[in-house]
Structure 1
Amino acid sequence: MSTPTVLNLDSGCPALWYSRCPVPTTSGIAQHYRWLHRAFAERGVELQSLRASADARVREAHYNHAHPDMFREGGNVPPIWARSSGQDTLVVGITWVDERQVLLVRDDSPLREPSDLQGRRLGLPKHHTRNVDIARTAHLRGLLTALELAEVPREAVAFVDIEGGEFDLRETGQAGAGGDRADLLAALLEGRVDAIYAKGASSVALQAKHGLRALLDINAHPDPLVRVNAGTPRPITVNRDLVQRAPELVSQYLAVLLTTADWAREHRDAAVLALAEETASSPESILQGYGESFHLHLRPALSDTYRQGLALQKDFLLREGFLPGDFDVASWIDPAPLAAAEALAGELGWLFRDAR
């Protein structure tokens, strides 16, 4: 890998990097319509996607946050793990778009109620990765939450490891983009496990394509903190030194996200189209997987509930042995860039003049 160049504000065209998960993110919509790129071009700054790099180790920064001068919005497991591993990052905003979280069984399964999970085999992915096993954390938490809601003791079920390889997140449409659930699905269809966890738009597609049945919908629970998992809440993270060296650029990035979220509230259909491409799914799956009103919840914030959800997720990952060490979530969050972004947001209306 070529050595990354740290942002030089005095150079002719300094570069910033961004990444986002293939889920509903404000960054995903803003980059889809090129609003982020246009806003930074006005400042003479080039914005580049980590996921579009030809270098696998550059793309890997989506998971380990090792690339300089990068923004990331998406699932909370990699940034929590990266911070625990020593990466000096800050949370400058949080979004929370609830996603469908279900336990899926075959249609011919004898399981009819969540309590029927007693004595059953639950599929749990296990990836060989240099970084944190994101899928394993998400599936374990989903399965444990389901067991708790069903009042089935953890020790009353058998977790069956389903082996998988390294993660490599690329831009939608590139070879190797997205995750691979084939092994986990095969284990369910072949009867090697009795139930698996699935979430978001992909859970809708899996259920429809393979005639599966949802035994339990975790997302139906009214308490948002019960629904916490790898995808909720989603922190927006950035390297601390970038906040120190170029706070105005960090606030500019956040200001574009704020105005994009406000735009999406009034333009749900256009937001759906952008996110369908972001997630390599259909508009129908977006609405089924994330709810009819997902577009009302894209705005970055730092509310008490968002902060609490992030802290609970860190505690879970630490308790289950996924983190190398502990850290204080409260001191990881810096509200100053988002506060400055609120003041800038009103100046960015020109970005949306040609928007649908």
Structure 2
Amino acid sequence: MIHLNRREMLVSSVALFALGACRGQSVHTTQARVGYLRTQGPIVDLGIDSAAIEQGNIKLFPFESGNDVLEAIMADGIDVGETGEVQPIFAQSAGHKVKVVGSTEPAALTSMLVRDDAPLRNIADLKGRKVSFIAGTNSHWLLLRALDRAGLKQGDIAPVSLGGSDGLSALFSGDIDALVMTAPTTQIAVSNGARVLFNNRGLTNSALYYVAKDSTIAKRPELIEGFLRALSQHIRWTAQNPDRFIDVAVKDLGVTPDVGRALLNVLPKKLVPVGDGAVGTYNQQIADAFAAQGLIPGRIEAAQSVSGEFDKVLTP
């Protein structure tokens, strides 16, 4: 279970301020207001705020999901936000003017979990099984890709929508057969009797995207640039200081050193350029898959919602 640490308790009042802005109050600030995923990703619990203070003024706002982050971006509650790979697709298909301005490298952040004693051994074994995932997220994207690899469709499984602790409880009680989950919950679950049936490697990138409105990119590029520079340096520092990472994970996430070590193994080790065409091409695959499922109205040109303007800040 993920517990709020000291920093999250401190920023909770700031988060309320950001959500107030989401209700229609326009906020002008010299600080980069950054929304991050509270239970995953390179920002959570690992001191990006301290690193960022040296780069410029950055305020962090924790959110539960990429959908919540995207909503805050559209409401001008934050300037840039951390999401999964799927949220920008839905934003573009809805006509929102947002762009992916940064991305982590591909990483094994998303996994299909089963109970350790389950008879399931490969993707094809999911046929006819109760599989839990959250629609319109990276977990859904991984499921679609995995089923396609095995010659199956979403209709070949019994979909269930449970996440977090509810999903894990259902898995361990036998109410569902499999569950798509992300780090660090995956590592915690494995330490408590779950087994990874497969992860996203070779199927999806499971990258984390950093997204901003077109208007923010045009009017306040320095906010985005300062944040991405700080984040790039922070991710590399984490990779180069594994013992420190594990100490912080044990303290702030409440996990064992072994779980902290397993988490470090799957976290991305750097940001990558988004303006070289690779992200746009990959996003097109996501968009086409979701269009085929009828989850977005029709085909979009996904590359139009990627901006390489800030690739220059990446640490060499």
Contact preservation (8 Å) 2:48, 2:234:
no
TM-score norm. by structure 1 comes to 0.67
Tell me which residue corresponds to 2:287. Answer: 314
1:36 Cα deviation after fit = 1.6
Partner letter of residue 298 of structure 1?
A: K
Secondary structure in structure 1 of the residue aligned to 2:184: helix
> Can you list the C-alpha shifts for 1:210-240, whole angstroms capped at 9, x where unaligned?
x2333x3234x5x4xx233xxx222211121
| Structural RMSD (CA) | 3.5
Flag the 1:218–1:107 CA change in 2: closer, same or farther, 3 A.
Answer: closer
Residue 213 (structure 1) aligned with residue 195 (structure 2): yes
Q: How does 1:142-181 map to 2 (within 5 A)?
A: 142-149=142-149, 151-154=150-153, 157-162=156-161, 180-181=164-165
Mapped contact 1:18–1:70 kept (Cα < 8 A): yes
Alpha-carbon spacing, 1:145–1:283, altered in 2? closer, same or farther (3 Å): farther
Residue 14 of structure 2 aligns with which residue? Answer: none
- List runs of 5+ in structure 1 lacking aligned partners: 9-13, 42-46, 127-132, 165-178, 347-356
Aligned residues with identical type, % of pairs: 18
Paired residues for 1:123-138 under 5 Å: 123-125=131-133, 133-134=135-136, 137-138=137-138
Change (3 A) 1:307 1:96: farther
Structure 1: distance between partners of 2:186 and 2:221: 39
Q: Could you tell me which of 220, 229, 245 is aligned with 1:246?
A: 220
CA 1:193–1:160 in structure 2 vs 1: closer, same or farther (change >3 Å)? same
How do 1:84-99 and structure 2 match up within 5 A? 84-99=93-108
**Partners of 1:50 and 1:61 within 8 A in 2:** no
Once residues 276 and 313 of structure 1 are traced to their aligned partners in structure 2, the CA distance between those partners, rounded to angstroms, is 35
The alignment of Structure 1 onto Structure 2 pairs a total of residues equal to: 290
Counterpart among 37, 40, 43 of residue 23 in structure 1: 40
Other structure's SS at 1:256 match? helix
Q: Could you tell which deviates more after superposition, 65-74 or 238-247?
A: 65-74
TM-score (norm 2): 0.74
**8 Å CA contact retained: 1:124, 1:140:** no
* Larger Cα-atom Rg: 1
Which residue type is aligned with residue 69 of structure 2? H
Match of 1:201 among 168, 184, 191: 184
> Counterpart in 1 of 2:26?
5
Partner residue, 1:37: 53
Q: Determine the C-alpha separation between the residues in 2 that align with 1:15 and 1:244.
A: 16
2:120 counterpart SS class: coil
Deviation at 1:154, TM superposition (A): 2.6
**TM-superposition CA deviations, 1:252-274 (whole Å, max 9, x none):** 22222233234334323334455
CA contact (8 A) 1:94 1:235 kept: yes
Which digits, 9 at most, give the CA deviation of each residue in 1:151-204, with x for residues without a partner?
A: 353378331434x5xxxxxxxxxxxxxx6331x334333433333333322122
Identify unmatched segments of 5+ residues in structure 2: 1-19
Q: Structure 2: how far apart are the matches of 1:30 and 1:192?
A: 35
CA deviation vs aligned residue, 1:94-118 (integer Å, no higher than 9, x gap): 1124125443333443334544434
Letter in structure 2 aligned against 1:254: L
Partner Cα separation in structure 2 for residue 307 and residue 106 of structure 1: 36
The answer to whether the 8 Å contact 2:67/2:87 transfers is no
1:299 aligns with 2:254: no
In structure 1, distance between residues paired with 2:293 and 2:247: 37
The answer as to 2:84 corresponding to 1:63 is no
